[in-house]
Amino acid sequence: MTKLTLRPTDTFFFKNHHATQAGETTVMEPMFPPRPNTIYGALRAAYIYTHSSFEDFARGADEHVKQWMGTPNEHGAFRLHYCGLADGDQLFLPLPLDYQVVEEGESLTAYPLELVKDRKPASSSPGWRLASSRREKTKSSQHRYVSVDEWKRALLASQPITSLRSLSSFIVREAKVGIQLDDSKRTAREKFLYRVEKSRFLGDASLVAYISDEPDFSAVKWARIGGENRPWSIRQTPEQFRLWSVDERKTLEQTIQRTKLAKVVFLSPAIFSNGSRPATFDGVHWRWPNGATVEWLASAIGRPELYGGWDIVHHRPKPRKWMVPAGSVVYVKVERDEELPLIFSVLDGIHLTDEGAEEGFGFAIVTSASESEEEL
C-alpha cells in the first residue's frame, strides 16, 4: 500500500450536490472533507495527464494507462482504499457515532454508549439498543476527529475521549465574492453576482490517500482537485494502513472469540441502497463481501445524505443515491465459529458499501464490542 499526501497551493472548495444559483442572497457553502470519489477521480486524471493524454485514454489506446485507470466507462485496477485527514505526520480518524459528546465546563468529552438488551422492543427493533446514563448537555458527534493513537486506546478499552478536534482546527473559511463572465463578450454578466466560502488548511494539515501499491505515482507531482480545478501537490511515500499492532490484534481476536460481538466503524462514507441499511442486509443478517455473515444488533448511523455529481462522460447529473456518513457504527454478533477467521481477516479494514468500493467508499475497520449487564 502507498500513501499520497495532498496539499493545496492556495484556497480550495468542494461543492456538494446542491444546485448552484447566482444572486446576492445565494452563498455556495463548501463541504469538507471531500467525498472519496472526488479524490479518486482527481488522482486518476492526474495519472492519465502525466503518463498519456486524455484523447488516448478516451480511445483506450494506451494499454498501460488502460490497465490501471480503465476507460471512461469502466474502472481499471487502480484502487483508493481510504482518504483521511492528517496534521503533520499524525492521522486523525472520525469520532465514532456511538460516542456521546458532553459539555464539561469549557471542554468536550466523548463517552461511549453501551450495548444493552431491550426487553420492550418496538416492532422493528432487533432487541438491542445503544444507551447512555448521562444527562448532561450534549453536542453532535459528527465532524469531530481524534488522533489515531487515542482513537485506538479508547475503542480497545471502551474509554472516554477527551482530545476532540473540530474541523475548525484543521481549516479556516474565507468568503469570496465574484461575478460570472460572459465568455462570448469577455465581460461580466449582469445580475450574476455570486458568493462562495473557500477553505484554507491551518498549519501542517493535509489530506492523505492510501492507495494500492500499483501504479507508481512518483512521477505525478500535481493534481487538480475540487472547484475551479485548483492545483494540489502530491507526495508519495510507502506506508501501509495497518491500524492495529500485533498485540492489539491478538487482544481483539480473543475478545471477539469470547463475546461473539464485534463493532464495525466506518471511516469513510458508504453508499447504501436502502437509506441507512445496505442491500445485503435482510432485516436480521448482514452479508459481507468476504463471505462473512453476521447478525445486525444495533447501530449509530448519522443521517443519510444524498450523493450525486456530474457525469462527464454522458454530460448529465448522476443518479442521486443515499450515503451514510463517516463515523457510523454497527454492532454485530458472530453466530457461528466458522465466521471468526473471516472477521479476523478484516480487522484492519474492509469496504462495506453497495457500490464505489474501488473509489474508497465504505472503508470500515472492525473492533471488539461488549454487552452491558443493564437492561432497558
DSSP per position, 45-102: HHHHHHHS-HHHHHHT--HHHHHHH-BTTB--S--EEEEEEEETTEEEEEPPTTEEEE
Average pLDDT of the residues in 95-114: 91
Q: Which residue has the higher pLDDT, 315 or 362?
A: 362
Average pLDDT over residues 232-247: 94
Euclidean distance between CA atoms 369 and 115, whole angstroms: 8
The single-letter code of the amino acid at 141 is S
pLDDT at 275: 87
Beta bridge partners of 351: 363
What per-residue confidence (pLDDT) applies to 185?
78
Report how far apart, in Å, the C-alpha atoms of 77 and of each of 113, 311, 362, 368 are. 40, 21, 18, 32
Q: Largest Cα–Cα distance of the chain, in whole Å?
A: 73
pLDDT, average across residues 337-343:
95
Cell of 258: 469470547
pLDDT for 271 beyond 90: yes
Nearest to 259, CA basis, from 331, 362, 180: 331
- Residue 24 phi, psi dihedral angles, 5° rounding: -65, -30
Task: Indicate if the pLDDT at residue 117 is higher than 60.
Answer: yes
Q: What is the pLDDT of residue 33?
A: 92
The predicted-structure confidence for 122-174, as pLDDT tens digits, reads as follows: 655 668 889 888 888 888 888 999 999 999 999 999 999 999 999 999 999 98
Distance, in Å, from the CA atom of 353 to the CA atom of 226, rounded to the nearest integer, reads 23
Record the pTM.
0.91
Q: Mean per-residue pLDDT for 237-250?
A: 93
Grid cell digits, residue 39:
479524490
| Across 99-114, average pLDDT | 90
Least reliable range by pLDDT among 58-67, 254-263, 314-323, 345-354: 314-323
pLDDT at 295: 95
Distance CA 209, CA 376 (A): 42
